[in-house]
Amino acid sequence: MISINDKTDCCGCFACMNICPKNCISMLPGKEGFLYPSVNMQECVDCGLCEKRCPMLDPQHRARTPICIYGCRNADSESLAAASSGGMFELLADAVLSDNGIVFGAGFDKDNNVVHKHIEKTGDIDTLRRSKYVQSAIGATYRQTGEFLKAGRKVLFVGTPCQIAGLRSFLGKDFQNLIAVDFVCHGVPSPAVWQKYLATISDNNHIKIKDINFRNKENGWISIRFCYHKEYPDGKAANVTESRYANPFVRGFLYDLYLRPSCHECKFKHFSSGSDLTLSDFWGVWTNHPEWNDDKGASCIAVNTEKGAAFLKSIDTTKYERTCLSFKQAYVDYNNYALKSASYNPKRELFFRELYDDKPLIPLIMRLTKKPFKQKIKDSISVVAHKLKLHQLMHSYRILR
């Protein structure tokens, strides 16, 4: 049965928990707040399925080159503004839901934990829309996906590359009615750090926190802002909006302070998750398609399988704009987290050590992400570059993600 000795060996995909015939695997938080499998030895019959279906122990798919890559964005300005990137998720979801299908993705639960769940109505798309920079808990969604697929329903499942690899391993075979979509993934922060951050801003749940958006585009797609709505016990309310470096949680994420250990040695780069389509930000837009250089957002979509190609073809092309891109334009030059893992921050261990010692979270993050003088200069240049729309220069200073 599954046993994790080295934390980098488990990406937290939940495939083992979903496959266990005796339901004797629970996903429990480790010291850093990431979930790992724990086996109830009294119930385990040593069938070995959990190890056989673990995508980290037995990766089913190899590195691939996409069949083709498009730069694209939703033609509807409201949909584009509401999305984190080019708003393509909404179009994919809409196509499946309009065909009596099901869509799985990451949303919030009532306590603002990030969890995977499914929707069946187009009116619910907003509950899954937008990036959440926290590892989502898969729960029993692979089993539910299997049941919907066997019942003949079309399913769109969106997740990180390791979640798509986990789903594929769990299912054990391809289903024609499944469209699996991942995205270029920088890595996922700890759910426990997220909850600690929420406890801080909500004054230990005295203030209600609602409508969290990690990537608000009010100030443009590139200068993303973190925002949320606060409701005080006396009935007063306020909206909070902070730039990505002013917001402590997003700042710690951007500095790789609390990513899951497996994200620093990710086994699912190079389009090797088994997904049909891969979404990402189209960071090279200002060079490769200057017509869209309006800071409203654009995505790349990599078509990895014939099934993905046929599905994309079924979407009305008047609903989105698109242009063909080379692998170099889409990933090598501007978005190499498709190909390499996030670097390890040497202050990561110190961060978690001080967090266990109950040091207050926000000053801890701000202290460990204090910018050296050279970085401050680079950032000032990037602010000026942003104002002047010199996006190529901003990219050279590596302030984009």
Query: Residue 219 Cβ, how far from ligand SF4 at the closest point, in Å?
Result: 27
Closer residue to ligand FAD (CB): 39 or 184: 184
Task: Tell me whether residue 49 or residue 330 sits nearer to ligand FAD (CB atom).
Answer: 330
Name the residue nearer to ligand FAD (CB basis): 25 or 300.
300
- Taking the complex as a whole, how short is the minimal distance between the CB of residue 29 and ligand SF4, in angstroms? 13
Comparing CB distances to ligand SF4, the nearer of 44 and 350 is 44
Query: With respect to ligand FAD, which residue has the nearer C-beta, 1 or 92?
Result: 92
Residue 252 interacts with which of ligand FAD, ligand SF4, none, CB < 5 to 8 Å by class: none
d(CA 191, CA 176): 34
Identify whether the C-beta of residue 103 lies closer than 8 Å to the C-beta of residue 158. Answer: yes
Nearer to ligand FAD, 1 or 15 (CB): 15
Nearest approach, Cβ of residue 263 and ligand SF4 (Å): 3
48 binds, among ligand FAD, ligand SF4, none (CB under 5 to 8 A by kind): ligand SF4
Q: How far is the CB of 205 from ligand FAD (least distance, A)?
A: 22
Query: How many whole angstroms separate alpha carbon 193 and alpha carbon 199?
Result: 10
Residues in contact with ligand SF4 by CB under 6 A are 1-2, 4, 10-16, 20, 22, 24-25, 37, 39, 44-50, 54, 56, 160-162, 166, 185, 187-188, 260, 262-263, 266, 268
Cβ of residue 174: shortest distance to ligand SF4, in angstroms? Answer: 19
**20/95 with CB nearer ligand SF4:** 20
Give the residues across from 213 on adjacent strands: 227
Pick what 177 binds: ligand SF4, ligand FAD, none; C-beta below 5 to 8 Å, kind-dependent. Answer: none
Residue 280 interacting entry, from ligand FAD, ligand SF4, none, C-beta within 5 to 8 Å by type: ligand FAD
| Interstrand relation of 320-325 and 68-74 (parallel, antiparallel or unpaired) | antiparallel
Q: Give the integer Cα–Cα distance in Å for 175 and 118.
A: 18
Q: Phi-psi region for residue 38, left (φ > 0), alpha (ψ -120 to 50) or beta?
A: beta
Closer residue to ligand SF4, CB minimum distance, 135 or 382: 135
CB of 266 vs ligand SF4, minimal distance in Å: 3
CB of 109 to ligand FAD, least distance (A): 13
Q: Return the one option of ligand FAD, ligand SF4, none that residue 335 interacts with (CB less than 5 to 8 A, by type).
A: ligand FAD
d(CA 163, CA 174) in angstroms, rounded, equals 15
- For residue 321, the cross-strand partners are 73
Give me the residues that bind ligand FAD (CB under 6 A), please. 83-90, 105-106, 114, 128-134, 136, 158-160, 183-186, 188, 279-281, 299, 335, 337, 401
Choose the contact partner of 284 out of ligand FAD, ligand SF4, none; CB within 5 to 8 A by kind: none
209 vs 298, which CB is nearer to ligand FAD?
A: 298
Nearest distance, CB of residue 358 and ligand FAD, angstroms: 27
CB-CB contact of 103 with 156 (8 Å): yes
Residue 253 near which of ligand SF4, ligand FAD, none (CB within 5-8 Å, type-dependent)? none
